[in-house]
Amino acid sequence: MAPRARPAAGEGEGSPASSGVCLALAYPERIGQNRGGGRYLLSSGRGAVLPRQQLL
């Protein structure tokens, strides 16, 4: 059996990237559309603004 390739940094199990994909699949109605400049359109139709320093 051939050895499995290691995932790139940030792409393995338990990484923030895989956690984000899992949450997006579990709660698709809670995803906001990025309008740029830290502004988002929420699924409810309301808008939200996040500081640029926020790491979501």
Q: What span, in angstroms and rounded, lies between the C-alpha atoms of 42 and 27? A: 13
Alpha-carbon distances, residue 18 vs 13, 14, 53 (angstroms)? 6, 6, 22
Nearest-angstrom CA–CA distance, 26 and 17: 14
- Each residue of 21-45: pLDDT tens digit? 888 889 887 888 889 988 989 888 9
Please check the confidence at residue 10 and state whether its pLDDT lies above 60. no
Q: Cα separation of 34 and 39, whole Å?
A: 6
